[in-house]
Protein backbone atom coordinates (compact mmCIF):
# COMPACT_ATOMS: atom_id res chain seq x y z
CA UNK A 1 0.00 0.00 0.00
CA UNK A 2 1.32 3.42 -0.93
CA UNK A 3 1.50 6.39 1.42
CA UNK A 4 1.30 9.53 -0.72
CA UNK A 5 2.89 12.87 0.00
CA UNK A 6 0.09 15.48 0.13
CA UNK A 7 0.93 19.07 -0.81
CA UNK A 8 -1.49 21.80 0.23
CA UNK A 9 -1.54 24.96 -1.90
CA UNK A 10 -3.65 28.12 -1.69
CA UNK A 11 -2.42 30.34 -4.49
CA UNK A 12 0.12 32.20 -2.37
CA UNK A 13 3.78 32.70 -3.25
CA UNK A 14 4.79 30.00 -0.76
CA UNK A 15 2.76 27.46 -2.75
CA UNK A 16 5.58 27.08 -5.26
CA UNK A 17 8.00 26.32 -2.42
CA UNK A 18 5.61 23.66 -1.09
CA UNK A 19 5.22 22.11 -4.55
CA UNK A 20 8.99 21.86 -5.08
CA UNK A 21 9.48 20.34 -1.62
CA UNK A 22 6.57 17.95 -2.14
CA UNK A 23 7.89 16.80 -5.51
CA UNK A 24 11.33 16.18 -4.01
CA UNK A 25 9.88 14.37 -0.97
CA UNK A 26 7.69 12.10 -3.11
CA UNK A 27 10.62 11.24 -5.37
CA UNK A 28 12.99 10.70 -2.45
CA UNK A 29 10.53 8.44 -0.62
CA UNK A 30 9.33 6.77 -3.84
CA UNK A 31 5.71 7.62 -3.01
CA UNK A 32 2.87 9.16 -5.08
CA UNK A 33 2.27 12.91 -5.00
CA UNK A 34 -1.13 14.50 -4.40
CA UNK A 35 -1.57 18.25 -4.79
CA UNK A 36 -4.65 19.54 -2.99
CA UNK A 37 -6.41 22.85 -2.61
CA UNK A 38 -9.12 23.22 0.03
CA UNK A 39 -12.09 25.50 -0.63
CA UNK A 40 -15.05 26.38 1.63
CA UNK A 41 -17.90 23.90 1.80
CA UNK A 42 -21.54 25.09 1.76
CA UNK A 43 -22.69 26.38 5.12
CA UNK A 44 -25.30 24.38 6.99
CA UNK A 45 -26.97 27.65 7.96
CA UNK A 46 -27.24 30.63 5.63
CA UNK A 47 -28.93 32.21 2.68
CA UNK A 48 -29.18 29.44 0.08
CA UNK A 49 -28.60 31.45 -3.09
CA UNK A 50 -25.94 33.76 -1.66
CA UNK A 51 -24.14 30.82 -0.07
CA UNK A 52 -24.27 28.76 -3.28
CA UNK A 53 -22.93 31.61 -5.40
CA UNK A 54 -20.12 32.29 -2.95
CA UNK A 55 -19.16 28.61 -2.70
CA UNK A 56 -19.16 28.32 -6.50
CA UNK A 57 -16.86 31.33 -6.73
CA UNK A 58 -14.49 29.81 -4.16
CA UNK A 59 -14.55 26.53 -6.08
CA UNK A 60 -13.54 28.34 -9.27
CA UNK A 61 -10.74 30.05 -7.35
CA UNK A 62 -9.56 26.66 -6.09
CA UNK A 63 -9.49 25.27 -9.62
CA UNK A 64 -7.40 28.25 -10.69
CA UNK A 65 -4.94 27.46 -7.88
CA UNK A 66 -4.66 23.86 -9.11
CA UNK A 67 -4.03 25.09 -12.64
CA UNK A 68 -1.20 27.22 -11.29
CA UNK A 69 0.23 24.16 -9.53
CA UNK A 70 0.17 22.21 -12.80
CA UNK A 71 2.19 25.00 -14.39
CA UNK A 72 4.84 24.84 -11.64
CA UNK A 73 5.21 21.06 -11.89
CA UNK A 74 4.76 20.57 -15.65
CA UNK A 75 8.47 20.27 -16.43
CA UNK A 76 9.31 18.07 -13.43
CA UNK A 77 9.25 14.28 -13.74
CA UNK A 78 6.77 12.12 -11.86
CA UNK A 79 3.01 11.61 -11.84
CA UNK A 80 0.79 13.96 -9.86
CA UNK A 81 -2.83 13.68 -8.76
CA UNK A 82 -4.68 16.97 -8.30
CA UNK A 83 -7.60 17.27 -5.89
CA UNK A 84 -10.05 19.96 -4.87
CA UNK A 85 -11.38 19.42 -1.35
CA UNK A 86 -14.38 21.12 0.25
CA UNK A 87 -14.08 21.70 4.00
CA UNK A 88 -14.64 24.15 6.82
CA UNK A 89 -10.93 25.08 6.95
CA UNK A 90 -7.76 24.42 5.00
CA UNK A 91 -6.17 22.54 7.90
CA UNK A 92 -9.29 20.41 8.46
CA UNK A 93 -9.54 19.56 4.76
CA UNK A 94 -5.88 18.55 4.54
CA UNK A 95 -6.18 16.49 7.73
CA UNK A 96 -9.17 14.61 6.31
CA UNK A 97 -7.45 13.98 2.98
CA UNK A 98 -4.27 12.79 4.70
CA UNK A 99 -6.26 10.30 6.78
CA UNK A 100 -8.21 9.12 3.72
CA UNK A 101 -5.09 8.34 1.70
CA UNK A 102 -2.91 7.39 4.71
CA UNK A 103 -0.42 10.07 3.75
CA UNK A 104 3.29 9.82 4.50
CA UNK A 105 3.36 13.58 5.15
CA UNK A 106 1.57 16.85 4.47
CA UNK A 107 3.67 19.56 2.83
CA UNK A 108 2.77 23.26 2.98
CA UNK A 109 4.50 26.60 2.51
CA UNK A 110 5.55 28.80 5.39
CA UNK A 111 2.69 31.23 4.69
CA UNK A 112 4.78 34.37 5.18
CA UNK A 113 3.37 35.82 1.96
CA UNK A 114 -0.39 35.34 1.70
CA UNK A 115 -2.32 35.32 -1.59
CA UNK A 116 -4.39 38.37 -2.44
CA UNK A 117 -7.61 36.37 -2.33
CA UNK A 118 -7.33 33.86 0.47
CA UNK A 119 -9.64 30.84 0.47
CA UNK A 120 -9.31 30.76 4.28
CA UNK A 121 -7.91 33.18 6.86
CA UNK A 122 -5.02 32.33 9.16
CA UNK A 123 -1.89 30.23 8.90
CA UNK A 124 -2.55 26.75 7.55
CA UNK A 125 0.90 25.57 8.61
CA UNK A 126 0.41 26.57 12.25
CA UNK A 127 -3.11 25.13 12.40
CA UNK A 128 -1.88 21.85 10.95
CA UNK A 129 0.67 21.58 13.76
CA UNK A 130 -2.16 21.44 16.30
CA UNK A 131 -3.56 18.05 15.41
CA UNK A 132 -2.09 16.20 12.44
CA UNK A 133 -1.68 12.44 12.60
CA UNK A 134 1.22 12.49 10.12
CA UNK A 135 4.35 14.65 9.89
CA UNK A 136 3.98 18.20 8.58
CA UNK A 137 6.75 19.44 6.27
CA UNK A 138 7.01 23.21 5.89
CA UNK A 139 8.93 24.61 2.93
CA UNK A 140 11.12 27.67 3.50
CA UNK A 141 10.78 30.72 1.30
CA UNK A 142 12.54 30.51 -2.08
CA UNK A 143 13.02 26.75 -2.21
CA UNK A 144 15.57 25.72 -4.87
CA UNK A 145 14.17 23.93 -7.91
CA UNK A 146 16.24 20.86 -6.95
CA UNK A 147 16.12 20.47 -3.15
CA UNK A 148 18.30 18.01 -1.31
CA UNK A 149 21.79 16.92 -2.24
CA UNK A 150 23.44 17.42 1.15
CA UNK A 151 22.85 13.82 2.22
CA UNK A 152 22.15 14.67 5.85
CA UNK A 153 18.97 14.74 7.93
CA UNK A 154 18.97 17.01 10.98
CA UNK A 155 16.92 16.49 14.12
CA UNK A 156 16.32 18.98 16.92
CA UNK A 157 16.76 16.64 19.87
CA UNK A 158 16.08 16.77 23.59
CA UNK A 159 15.47 13.70 25.74
CA UNK A 160 11.70 14.16 26.02
CA UNK A 161 8.85 12.16 24.44
CA UNK A 162 8.54 14.67 21.61
CA UNK A 163 12.29 14.78 21.07
CA UNK A 164 12.48 11.00 20.92
CA UNK A 165 9.55 10.91 18.47
CA UNK A 166 11.40 13.39 16.25
CA UNK A 167 14.55 11.26 16.41
CA UNK A 168 12.61 8.10 15.48
CA UNK A 169 11.04 9.84 12.48
CA UNK A 170 14.36 11.33 11.37
CA UNK A 171 16.08 7.94 11.69
CA UNK A 172 13.38 6.27 9.56
CA UNK A 173 13.82 8.95 6.91
CA UNK A 174 17.60 8.57 6.98
CA UNK A 175 17.35 4.78 6.57
CA UNK A 176 14.96 5.11 3.62
CA UNK A 177 17.14 7.68 1.85
CA UNK A 178 20.62 6.52 2.84
CA UNK A 179 21.34 9.91 4.39
CA UNK A 180 23.46 10.58 7.45
CA UNK A 181 21.84 11.85 10.65
CA UNK A 182 22.90 14.80 12.81
CA UNK A 183 21.37 15.58 16.21
CA UNK A 184 21.23 19.16 17.47
CA UNK A 185 20.56 20.55 20.92
CA UNK A 186 20.76 24.23 21.84
CA UNK A 187 21.95 25.69 25.14
CA UNK A 188 21.83 29.36 26.03
CA UNK A 189 25.07 31.29 25.65
CA UNK A 190 26.34 33.21 28.66
CA UNK A 191 25.17 36.52 27.23
CA UNK A 192 21.57 35.22 27.06
CA UNK A 193 21.37 34.23 30.72
CA UNK A 194 20.37 36.22 33.79
CA UNK A 195 23.34 36.45 36.18
CA UNK A 196 21.94 39.67 37.64
CA UNK A 197 18.97 37.67 38.93
CA UNK A 198 20.60 34.53 40.33
CA UNK A 199 24.26 35.51 40.51
CA UNK A 200 27.06 35.05 38.01
CA UNK A 201 28.58 31.96 39.62
CA UNK A 202 25.22 30.21 39.99
CA UNK A 203 24.27 30.95 36.39
CA UNK A 204 27.57 29.69 35.01
CA UNK A 205 27.33 26.54 37.13
CA UNK A 206 23.80 25.99 35.79
CA UNK A 207 24.97 26.37 32.18
CA UNK A 208 27.93 24.03 32.70
CA UNK A 209 25.63 21.40 34.21
CA UNK A 210 23.12 21.84 31.39
CA UNK A 211 25.84 21.45 28.78
CA UNK A 212 27.16 18.25 30.38
CA UNK A 213 23.63 16.86 30.68
CA UNK A 214 22.79 17.53 27.04
CA UNK A 215 26.12 16.19 25.78
CA UNK A 216 25.49 12.94 27.65
CA UNK A 217 21.94 12.82 26.29
CA UNK A 218 23.09 13.38 22.72
CA UNK A 219 25.79 10.72 23.03
CA UNK A 220 23.29 8.14 24.31
CA UNK A 221 20.72 9.00 21.66
CA UNK A 222 23.24 8.79 18.81
CA UNK A 223 24.50 5.43 20.05
CA UNK A 224 20.95 4.04 20.16
CA UNK A 225 20.21 4.66 16.46
CA UNK A 226 20.78 1.57 14.31
CA UNK A 227 21.58 1.38 10.63
CA UNK A 228 22.44 5.07 10.17
CA UNK A 229 25.66 7.07 10.42
CA UNK A 230 25.04 9.54 13.26
CA UNK A 231 26.83 12.48 14.81
CA UNK A 232 25.70 15.36 17.02
CA UNK A 233 26.36 19.02 17.65
CA UNK A 234 25.65 21.27 20.62
CA UNK A 235 24.70 24.79 19.54
CA UNK A 236 24.65 27.99 21.60
CA UNK A 237 22.17 30.85 21.55
CA UNK A 238 18.42 31.21 21.37
CA UNK A 239 17.01 27.86 20.35
CA UNK A 240 14.73 28.86 17.46
CA UNK A 241 17.29 31.31 16.03
CA UNK A 242 20.15 28.81 16.23
CA UNK A 243 18.13 26.06 14.56
CA UNK A 244 16.74 28.40 11.92
CA UNK A 245 20.25 29.27 10.73
CA UNK A 246 21.18 25.65 9.95
CA UNK A 247 21.83 25.07 6.27
CA UNK A 248 23.97 21.91 6.16
CA UNK A 249 21.01 19.49 6.25
CA UNK A 250 18.37 18.63 3.65
CA UNK A 251 15.58 18.81 6.23
CA UNK A 252 15.34 19.47 9.96
CA UNK A 253 12.99 17.25 11.98
CA UNK A 254 11.58 18.49 15.28
CA UNK A 255 8.84 17.67 17.78
CA UNK A 256 5.68 19.73 17.96
CA UNK A 257 5.86 20.78 21.59
CA UNK A 258 8.20 22.91 23.67
CA UNK A 259 11.59 21.48 24.50
CA UNK A 260 13.29 20.42 27.65
CA UNK A 261 12.96 20.46 31.42
CA UNK A 262 15.09 23.62 31.81
CA UNK A 263 12.84 26.28 30.33
CA UNK A 264 15.51 28.98 30.15
CA UNK A 265 17.75 26.67 28.12
CA UNK A 266 15.21 25.38 25.59
CA UNK A 267 12.03 27.43 25.52
CA UNK A 268 8.60 26.23 24.41
CA UNK A 269 6.97 27.15 21.10
CA UNK A 270 10.11 26.34 19.13
CA UNK A 271 8.40 24.53 16.28
CA UNK A 272 6.01 27.42 15.63
CA UNK A 273 8.82 29.98 15.43
CA UNK A 274 11.03 27.63 13.47
CA UNK A 275 8.61 27.07 10.59
CA UNK A 276 8.44 30.85 10.05
CA UNK A 277 12.15 31.44 9.66
CA UNK A 278 14.16 28.28 8.95
CA UNK A 279 16.55 28.21 6.00
CA UNK A 280 15.82 24.53 5.28
CA UNK A 281 12.58 22.53 5.19
CA UNK A 282 11.25 21.71 8.64
CA UNK A 283 9.41 18.45 9.37
CA UNK A 284 7.27 18.63 12.51
CA UNK A 285 6.39 15.26 14.01
CA UNK A 286 2.84 14.77 15.41
CA UNK A 287 2.26 15.25 19.10
CA UNK A 288 2.81 12.12 21.13
CA UNK A 289 0.34 11.09 23.80
**pLDDT tens digit string along 169-178?**
999 999 988 9
Residue 270 in this model has a pLDDT that exceeds 70 = no
Query: Buried b / exposed e across 50-76, counting CB within 10 Å, b at 16+?
Result: eeeeebeebbebbeebbebbeebbeee
Residue 46 in this model has a pLDDT that exceeds 60 = no
Q: Quick one: pLDDT band at residue 39, thresholds 50, 70, 90? A: confident
- Residue 98 in contact with residue 262, Cβ under 8 Å? no
- Residue 215 in contact with residue 157, Cβ under 8 Å? no
Question: Which pLDDT score is estimated for 255?
Answer: 84
Q: Is 32 helix (H, G, I), strand (E, B) or coil?
A: coil
Question: Which pLDDT score is estimated for 100?
Answer: 94
Domains 5-139 and 152-284 belong to one CATH topology:
yes
**pLDDT tens digit string along 129-149?**
666 788 889 888 878 777 778
- The CA-atom distances, in angstroms, between 174 and each of 15, 46, 61 are 26, 50, 38
Least confident segment among 30-34, 154-158, 162-166: 162-166
Q: Is 132 helix (H, G, I), strand (E, B) or coil?
A: coil
User: Looking at domain 152-284, does it have CATH number 3.40.50.12160?
Assistant: no
pTM: 0.82
Instruction: Pick the closest to residue 241 from 159, 184, 198 (CA basis).
Output: 184
Residue spans of the domains in the chain: they are 5-139, 152-284
Terminal Cα-to-Cα distance of the chain (whole angstroms): 26
Select the CATH number that applies to the domain covering 5-139 from these four: 3.30.460.20, 3.30.413.10, 3.40.50.620, 3.20.20.70: 3.40.50.620
**pLDDT tens digit string along 208-259?**
777 888 899 999 999 999 999 999 999 988 888 899 899 999 999 988 764 4
Q: Quick one: pLDDT band at residue 103, thresholds 50, 70, 90? A: very high
Work out the average pLDDT over 88-111: 89
Q: Quick one: pLDDT band at residue 110, thresholds 50, 70, 90? A: confident
Q: Quick one: pLDDT band at residue 269, thresholds 50, 70, 90? A: low
Return d(Cα 7, Cα 65) in angstroms, integer.
Answer: 12
Residue 23 in this model has a pLDDT that exceeds 90 = yes
Q: Is 117 helix (H, G, I), strand (E, B) or coil?
A: coil
Please provide the size of the chain in residues: 289
Q: What H or E segment, with its residue span, contains residue 5?
A: strand 5-8
Amino acid sequence: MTSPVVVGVDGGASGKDALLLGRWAADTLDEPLIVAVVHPAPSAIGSGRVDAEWVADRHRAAEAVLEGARTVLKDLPGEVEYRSVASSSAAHGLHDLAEEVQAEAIVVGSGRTAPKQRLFAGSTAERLLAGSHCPIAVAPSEMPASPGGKGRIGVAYVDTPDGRAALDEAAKLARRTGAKLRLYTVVADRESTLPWLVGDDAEHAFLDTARETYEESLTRAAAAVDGVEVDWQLLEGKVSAALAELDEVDVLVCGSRGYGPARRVLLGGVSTRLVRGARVPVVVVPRSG
